[in-house]
Each structure stands twice: as C-alpha cells, then as structure tokens.
Amino acid sequence: MSLPLFFTENIDVNASRVTLDEGNSKHIIQVLRMKQGDALRLTDGKGNIFTGNIFDEHKKACIVNIKEHALQASSPRKSTIAISLVKNAARFEWFLEKAVEAGMNTIIPLLCERTEKAHFRYDRMQQIMISAMLQSQQAWLPVLAEPVKYKDWLPAHTNTVKCIAHCNNEEKYHFRQITDGNDDITICIGPEGDFTEQEIALALQHDFKPVSLGNTRLRTETAGIAAAVLLAIK
C-alpha cells in the first residue's frame, strides 16, 4: 500500500525538514491519527515528491523529516482545455476533478457569448484540483487560469495544434485524428447552446481546426472530460 500523499506549496528541494500548515497537520494528526515516526509523502504540485517521517506530531504545525526526494515524470504531451463556464458550478467542478485525474496541463475557463452567468470561486476550484491530484497519486498540478473572454483569449493563443469542438453540421476531423502524433494541443469547448456562428468563424480565422468528439451531442462538461481522456491517450 502506498504512503499517504499531501500537498504543500514551495518546498525547498534541499530541505531536510518541513513544517506543515495547520490544515494538513490537523488532518494528519487528528483525522488519520498518525504518530511520530510514521512515514508519508509530500508534493508541491510541480512534480516533486518528498518521502519522510513525522518528527513532531503537533496538530497545528506537524514537522516532517525528509528522507528522500524524487521527481515524477511529467506528461509527454502539453495539453490545454479551454472550456466555457456553465451555470451549474457543481458540473464544472466535476469536470475539473476528472480533467486533473486524466493529467491535463492547463485549464482555461472561457466566457463566451452564450455563457450563462456563473459563479467562479478560484480558491475552491483550486482545492478541488489539489484533491483530485492527490487522489490520483500525481505530483503535477495543472495550471488553472482565471476566467477570460473568448474573443480576447483566442487571438493570443499559440499552441501548435488548435482545435474547436462545435455542433454545426460541417465537415470536421475526429479529435483522435488530431491527437495522434501531436504533443502540443489545445481544444476549445463552448457553452450550453454552443458557440455562435461568429465565434466559430473567428476560431477558424485563427487556424483552429473543427473537430468532433463523437456521434452524440455532449454537455459542455462531458465534452471536456471526453477531450481530457482522448488527450491522455498517447
């Protein structure tokens, strides 16, 4: 059984001892009932994994002696999902969780013309992503951008392969065709009600390729998860 894994920002890779914050300390000492000498692992979300033992089981400032440092291999593919926010925040949070588990690099919440008013609590979303990273035993935390207007983000985006998934009846690539053999990919997914004709035209002007994610019409968050899974398949 693998050792429990916890997230701690900005750990010095040469540190021999780390003092954990109150949240982690309480969970380790009061919830998990771990004791002095018990082994655990820490990650900073930047690929580093530190293995150590509890030195001081203080419930507000647990101290861990670091015994070993390793770097988890990163995903060979640079993958970005730019996806419209949805009115139901719980559905977007569900997408975030699954996208992290699939190993995305970057997630960009979009504000499109048909994006309904949505609450975006960055701190909560970040915590959901951290939990998903730890649950899936990863050490790389994807970058989560602040929400940005679609029309402002689109011209500035420079990934090598750029795709837009939309529902219009026109000839499209299957997204799997695009992912094969390409390592620097962005897919753009629209809101409930899809992108407008003008938004689609703007994407095509900026060299985005129209793609399909399958034969059925998917909800925004389902399309995001489908794309994340396809991107994870190398």
Q: What is the CATH number of the domain that holds 61?
A: 2.40.240.20
Instruction: Residue 60: give the domain boundaries.
Output: 5-71
83 with 147, same domain: the answer is: yes
What pLDDT is stored for residue 78 in this prediction? 87
> pTM score, two decimals?
0.91
84 with 59, same domain: the answer is: no
Domain closes at, from 17, 50, 71 = 71
87 with 57, same domain: the answer is: no
What pLDDT is stored for residue 101 in this prediction? 95
Can you give 26-82 as a three-state secondary structure string? HHHHHHCCCCCCCEEEEECCECEEEEEEEEECCCCCCEEEEEEEEECCCCCCEEEEE
Q: What is the CATH number of the domain that holds 100?
A: 3.40.1280.10
97 with 197, same domain: the answer is: yes
94 with 145, same domain: the answer is: yes
What pLDDT is stored for residue 1 in this prediction? 63
Q: What is the mean pLDDT of each run of 10 residues along the chain (234 residues)?
A: 90 94 95 95 96 94 96 84 95 96 95 90 96 95 96 84 90 85 88 95 94 90 94 81
Which residue, 19, 9, 12, is CA-closest to 63? 19
Q: How many domains does the chain have?
A: 2
